[in-house]
Amino acid sequence: MAKTFDGPIEQIDAYRWRLPRSWRSDMRVDGVIYATQKLLDEALTGGGCDQVANVATLPGIVSASLAMPDIHWGYGFPIGGVAATDVEQGGVISPGGVGYDINCGVRLLRSDLDAKDVRPRLKALVDQLFRDVPAGVGVGGPVQLSRGETTKILEGGSRYLAGRGLASQEDIAATESGGCLEGADAEAVSKEAYHRGSDQCGTLGSGNHFTEVQVVDEVFDRAAAEVLGLCEGKVTVMIHCGSRGLGHQVCDDAIRDLRSAPARYGIQLPDRQLVCAPVNSPEGWRYLGAMRAAANFAWANRQLLANLIRATLARFFGQSEQSLGLRQVYDVAHNVAKIETHVVDGKPRTLCVHRKGATRAFPPGHGELAAAYRDIGQPVLIPGDMGRASYVLAGATTAMEQTFGSTCHGAGRVLSRHAAIARARGRRIDQELASVGVIARARSREGLAEEQPEAYKDVEAVVECVHQAGLSRKVARLRPMGVIKG
């Protein structure tokens, strides 16, 4: 039976709720959850709120332990969790604050294709993508990397691929952090992680990862949408995946290596899944370097997938990528820890910002944004579920003031994978999706069952919450037409 949160909840305003630090003697800061009443009610079971309180005990944490409206239980941190620790004041870094799928993220491609012209050929297009896009548990791709090539990807991410002619400067500019985290340490990545990643760069994976053909269903902010190349009725393609087995192994290795670190540094934890070390420690820097390397691998992975998908569309429609208007809108990470400068209590501080199932959402004018996005704010890509919608948002000033420039990352689960499979027993999820106009292809019925729409919260409610709370603003809604899953 799901555990119901039994701690105190105080309403701050229509979209924020506080778990006061006075509730537990080990909490260093409050917990703050962004949610409507209905979304909060969904969050109060499953253990996610208790995890918000647990994260509030971490050494060096500043302001609050935060949770976005897509909050649900995760390893150590809740998914949808954001926490910043002060690097110069003993702040820690925790693999549980990043997750196993390091730099799981989303890339969006736009096109000049009209949905009304694509629909008559949609089934054939989805079938072709299903044949061309490597997807599924353990499935490798056409790119076999030597150890030396893998090292260069770990250190350079998409920028290394640009040097190989596999990423354009436009792609790099339209990728968070330019597709590369500086300070990646390939030597901190284990031999087993190298092995697991050797044939997985350019592959989709399984679980909630997907490639989705979509239509721009509605535009909310026309000025921002014009900058991003999004027009109502046009086709987009969304790619959702991460660092595959390599990133999973990096996390696994770090959790094992850091197991005794809290005792060495006098850190007491309410949950051993929060295993951590001070950022300014040999153990902290080693994990940070390995995590950055895995994040770079994930950006390279999505870049190669985007190349493959663009080539498939060009062949399928018998036109060049340029004539189809295929262009990258943006690529965002939503499982990562970054060293950033933020103003806290009126002073700039160097923070380690953990975003676990949360997306960076820097506002207009921020110095880290590429020139093309400086006036509109960072594009934010929010995948929904196979049957409803995904969203494009843009960063907003309130996010910098309240959440270290962070917003939600998706709809958020309400059913575990096991529960979703049980609920799908005797049903055909592919036929149910087809009845609402969505063509779905997956390697197994179980894969579709665990990702069925009712396994997720209503993404519209989640997005409306962060929009109204001022963390990010709505730009466009994307409706699914066809989906490929592992």
pLDDT at 447 (0 to 100): 83
**Sign of the torsion formed by the C-alpha atoms of 58, 381, 462 and 213:** negative
Separation between Cα atoms, residue 413 and residue 331, nearest integer Å: 22
What is the greatest pairwise CA distance in the chain?
A: 65
Asked whether residue 3 is domain-assigned, the answer is no
Q: pLDDT tens digit string along 267-326?
A: 999 999 999 999 999 999 999 999 999 999 999 999 999 999 999 999 999 999 999 999
- Of 299, 96, 281, give the one whose Cα is nearest residue 178: 299
- Find the mean pLDDT for residues 477-482: 98
Asked whether residue 5 is domain-assigned, the answer is no
Task: Say which residue the tokens 């009712």 belong to.
Answer: 454
pLDDT at 22 (0 to 100): 97
* Angle, in degrees to the nearest 10, between helices 244-257 and 282-317: 170
Residue 456 pairs in a beta bridge with 413
| DSSP string covering 384-417 | --TTS-EEEEEE-HHHHHHSSSEE--S--BSS-H
Separation between Cα atoms, residue 376 and residue 230, nearest integer Å: 14
Q: pLDDT tens digit string along 162-220?
A: 999 999 999 999 999 999 999 999 999 999 999 999 999 999 998 899 999 999 999 99
Give percent of the chain with pLDDT exceeding 70: 99
Separation between Cα atoms, residue 133 and residue 142, nearest integer Å: 10
Our separate counts of H helices and E strands in the chain read: 16, 19
| DSSP run (H or E) holding 382 | strand 379-382
- Find the mean pLDDT for residues 34-57: 96
Residue 1 has pLDDT above 50, yes or no: no
Separation between Cα atoms, residue 454 and residue 439, nearest integer Å: 17
- Structurally, the chain folds into a number of domains equal to 1
CA-to-CA dists, residue 41 to 12, 37, 82, 211, angstroms? 16, 6, 20, 31
Give the predicted TM-score (pTM) of the model.
0.97
Cβ atoms 331, 179 nearer than 8 A: yes
Cβ atoms 76, 46 nearer than 8 A: no
CA 320 to chain centre: 30
Separation between Cα atoms, residue 255 and residue 393, nearest integer Å: 34
Q: pLDDT tens digit string along 349-400?
A: 999 999 999 999 999 999 999 999 999 999 999 999 988 999 999 999 999 9
Say which CATH number the domain at 198 has.
3.90.1860.10
CA 343 to chain centre: 24
- Find the mean pLDDT for residues 133-150: 85
Compute and round to an integer the Cα radius of gyration of the chain: 21
Q: Which tokens sit at 307?
A: 């190349």
409 a catalytic residue? yes
Q: What is the mean pLDDT of the chain?
A: 96
Separation between Cα atoms, residue 220 and residue 64, nearest integer Å: 31
DSSP-based three-state secondary structure for 108: strand
Residue 111 has pLDDT above 80, yes or no: yes
Asked whether residue 1 is domain-assigned, the answer is no
Q: Which tokens sit at 261?
A: 């670190």
Asked whether residue 2 is domain-assigned, the answer is no
Asked whether residue 166 is domain-assigned, the answer is yes
CA 125 to chain centre: 26
Cβ atoms 66, 45 nearer than 8 A: no
Q: Which tokens sit at 485?
A: 């899953």
Within 13 A of 374's CA, how many CA atoms are on the CB side?
A: 6
Separation between Cα atoms, residue 116 and residue 132, nearest integer Å: 24
DSSP-based three-state secondary structure for 280: coil
- Of 94, 128, 321, give the one whose Cα is nearest residue 213: 128
Cβ atoms 438, 386 nearer than 8 A: yes
Q: Write down the catalytic residue from 248, 409, 418, 467.
A: 409
Separation between Cα atoms, residue 190 and residue 118, nearest integer Å: 45
Q: pLDDT tens digit string along 419-450?
A: 999 998 989 999 989 999 999 999 888 889 99
Asked whether residue 4 is domain-assigned, the answer is no
pLDDT at 51 (0 to 100): 98
Separation between Cα atoms, residue 378 and residue 29, nearest integer Å: 28
- Give residue 303's domain range: 10-485
Q: Phi, psi (5° rounding) for residue 66?
A: -110, 150
| DSSP run (H or E) holding 226 | helix 222-228
